[in-house]
Amino acid sequence: MPPVDLQDTPDRDGRLTAVLSFLHRGSIQFLRGKNREQGIDCPPSYLMAIAAEEGMSQDELSRKLRIHKGAIAKMSRQMEEKGYIERRPDEVDRRRYGLYLTEKGRAALPLFCEAEADLEEVITRGMSEEDVERFHELLLLSADNLIKELKNGKEGNE
């Protein structure tokens, strides 16, 4: 994903998709920069998902993150080579490999949380506490609506 052009501010003509796209791209750029400052070179969502359910398979992670299996397999190899995770064979089904964080992977988690807190502060700067709570509620409602729509088979090709 190319860096967000700081001159490329979102349209103010009511196009919600333009604002959402800008927030998404800008957030990724912000978090990557924070992670780079800490010497971390892996996607936070990947490690945080594994931390939440260590031992899950690549297929399970693919479904959880809604990322193609091939991309998860490639990411798993890279993260294993970089020392963030290890893949261990399942004790019952030796064909299945579970994903586990290493010490290096665990050490990255609090840094991700700190970077996310910094991003949240930037995004909500100038909002009252009530505004932030309402903003969060509305984002969750929007996410729920989209999840329901996608589950109804209206998501297009993956």
| Residue 124 counted as domain residue | no
CA 85 from chain centre, in angstroms, equals 17
Give how many domains the chain has, as a whole number: 1
Q: Could you tell me if 47 and 64 are in contact, meaning their C-beta atoms sit under 8 angstroms apart?
A: no
Assess if residue 131 is contained within a domain. Answer: no
Considering the entire predicted model, what is its pTM?
0.72
Cα–Cα distance measured from residue 90 to residue 93, given in angstroms and rounded to the nearest whole number: 5
Distance in angstroms (rounded) separating the CA atoms of residues 113 and 23: 18
Identify the CATH number of the domain in which residue 38 sits. 1.10.10.10
Mean pLDDT taken over the chain: 87
At residue 10, the pLDDT reads 61
Q: Tell me which residue range forms the domain holding 59.
A: 16-109
Each residue of 50-102: pLDDT tens digit? 999 999 999 999 999 989 999 999 999 999 999 999 999 988 888 889 999 99
Asked, for residue 53, whether it belongs to a domain, the answer is: yes
Give a yes or no: residue 82 inside a domain.
yes
List residues bridging with 101 in a β-sheet: 85
